[in-house]
Amino acid sequence: MARVKTAVIGAGISGLTAAYTLRKSHDVTVFEAGPHSGGNAHTVDVPAPDGTRLAIDTGVVRLHENGDRELLRLCEELGASPVPVPEGVPATAIRCGGCGFSFTWPGATSPDGPAARPDVPSAKRTKFTEDFRKFGHLAREGTQTSLTVDDLVRERGFSPYFIEHVVVPLICVARAVSPPAARRFSAALAFGTSLRFGMSPGMPSSGWMRMAGGTRTYVDRLADGAAFRLSTPVDAVTRTAAGVDIRDASGTPHHFDKAVLAVPADRALRMLTHPTPAQSTALGAIPYDYNEWILHTDSRLRGADASVAYHMGSCADESADERAEITLHHNAAQEIPGPVAYLTTMTRGGARPDPRRVLDSRTHGCAVVTPGAAAAMARLPDIGDSTLAFAGAYFEPACGQGAGFVAGRNAAHRLLADRDTP
């Protein structure tokens, strides 16, 4: 029986999973605009003080035993080794450069920050405490997905102070997005995902895993058996009666029997030369937030002692959202010993790392799960067929590696004329 000639566009976790699933019966060619496979799962080798090399994950650093269960199972099947992350180091620390608010999770089951700050009015402290106590209940409701984070002030009576100092930072840290994007999220879906991954105040930080040797241990194994065209952006994808025609950025045409479009929703829509109404409606309803993340060793930006530190500008400044910094501490998250602090920082108008200490810089994008995007995600399984299928972490509100893995596997099954795996 002749093997099927199949293209996979995008070498992130979804594209790699699709290629891996199809490899037994299809001749798979993977097109990737960037110079490496893995997408947000990318391991960088950097020099250590003792002359050796350290493997540092610049995008995906940890997986969770609940939200990423199926991907972790595959990692073990592939021979990649997930290692439990110790629970002793705080997962998240939030600091405000204005009022001095300080919050560390886990370890804080009550709002101890503002209560100790004389520059926060007593009425504001009291309201903050009330909001903190009802926050957990709201997270467990999972209802009213039409409310955005900013809507919580008007519709649920939360104070702007609580939204700015707890809700927005937690979403920024969990989703790797900017504060303006976090405010647009469907509140119920954002909180529901936080619960699924054990990332809600008052909950213990447990169940997190890291990959010994970095995420490339599973990226490289998933890539085995496929032909790759790295640094080859795709400009156009056309579904025809005879299959799928692809034109890359150099103008070179390629023809395949089938294809998986495994790039972010906004890019997928731009590539389609003749999108169907269903494809235009669903893909066009999912916005993205793109930010630069810089790997460096500039200890000035270290911030609080936690796996991830969020530092906001003065809350009295209306432009505070534009001066927020999120810093990932690789020493804590990946158990890297030694005196040198290896950090990845996303900054919006705040301090930037000393260029002499920059090791790597990449732009990462994440779907912004607005109420409209959430509704569109429910329609995504219907936009593909057995010739052209779609995949990406945007296929479910969690938008993580586990979601991308499932979407890639389902897309491959669609091309194999198999049922989607639930």
Position 360 in a domain = yes
Q: Are 311 and 262 members of one domain?
A: no
In this structure, is residue 272 part of a structural domain? yes
* Helix segments in 295-348, DSSP class H: 330-333
Q: Are residues 206 and 293 in the same domain?
A: yes
Residues 329 and 384 in one domain: no
The answer to whether residues 349 and 323 touch, using CB atoms and an 8 Å cutoff, is yes
Which residues, including other chains, have CB under 8 Å from residue 100's CB and lie 6 or more apart? Answer: 113, 117, 119
Sort strands 288-296 and 308-312 into parallel, antiparallel or unpaired.
unpaired
**Co-location of 363 and 393 in the same domain:** no
Q: Domain check: are 375 and 242 in the same one?
A: yes
183 and 254 belong to one structural domain: no
| CATH number for position 384 | 3.50.50.60
Co-location of 184 and 301 in the same domain:
yes
pTM: 0.89
Contacts of 328 (CB under 8 A, 6+ apart): 61, 307, 308, 343, 344, 345
Q: Round to whole Å and give the CA distance between 178 and 326.
A: 9
Residue pLDDT tens, the chain, 422 long: 678 999 999 999 999 999 999 998 999 999 999 999 999 899 999 988 888 889 999 888 888 887 788 888 888 888 888 888 877 666 788 888 888 888 887 655 444 444 445 366 788 888 888 888 787 676 666 555 788 988 989 888 999 998 998 889 888 888 889 999 999 998 877 776 665 555 555 555 567 888 888 899 999 999 988 999 999 999 999 999 999 999 999 999 999 999 999 999 999 999 999 999 999 999 999 999 999 999 999 988 877 677 888 888 778 776 666 778 899 989 888 888 878 999 999 987 777 899 999 999 998 899 999 999 999 999 999 999 999 999 999 998 877 888 899 999 999 999 997 444 43
Backbone φ/ψ region at 214: left (φ over 0), alpha (ψ -120 to 50), beta: left
Burial, 76: exposed, middle or buried (Cβ in 10 Å; 0-12, 13-18, 19+)?
exposed
Last residue of a domain, one of 352, 367, 382: 367
Cα separation, 403 vs 384, whole angstroms: 17
Task: Name, in order, each residue with C-beta under 8 angstroms of 173's C-beta and a sequence gap of 6 or more.
Answer: 92, 199, 308, 310, 326
Q: Is 242 helix (H, G, I), strand (E, B) or coil?
A: coil
Q: What pLDDT shows up at residue 320? A: 65
In a domain, 59, yes or no: no
CATH code of the domain covering residue 361:
3.90.660
Helix (H, G, I), strand (E, B) or coil at 420: coil
Q: Give a yes or no: residue 315 inside a domain.
A: yes
C-beta atoms surrounding 274 within 10 Å: 10
Cα torsion 142, 145, 150, 152: sign: negative
Contact 231/35 with Cβ under 8 angstroms? Answer: yes
Is 404 part of any domain? Answer: yes
Together in a domain, 188 and 108: yes
Residues 203 and 294 in one domain: yes
- The reply to whether 295 and 276 lie within a common domain is no
| Domain membership of residue 338 as a residue range | 84-210+288-367
Could you tell me if residue 61 is inside a domain?
Answer: no
- Quote the number of domains for the chain: 2
Cα angle 221, 196, 362; round to 5: 50
Question: Does 109 share its domain with 137?
Answer: yes
Dist. CA 154–CA 177, nearest whole Å: 23
Displacement of CA 324 from its chain's centroid (Å): 18
Q: Are 381 and 361 in contact (CB under 8 A)?
A: no
Residue 387 lies in a domain: yes
Q: How many CB atoms lie within 10 A of CB 395?
A: 23
Asked whether residue 187 is assigned to any structural domain, the reply reads yes
Any bridge partners for residue 344, and if so which?
A: 295, 328
Tell whether 305 and 357 lie within a shared domain: yes
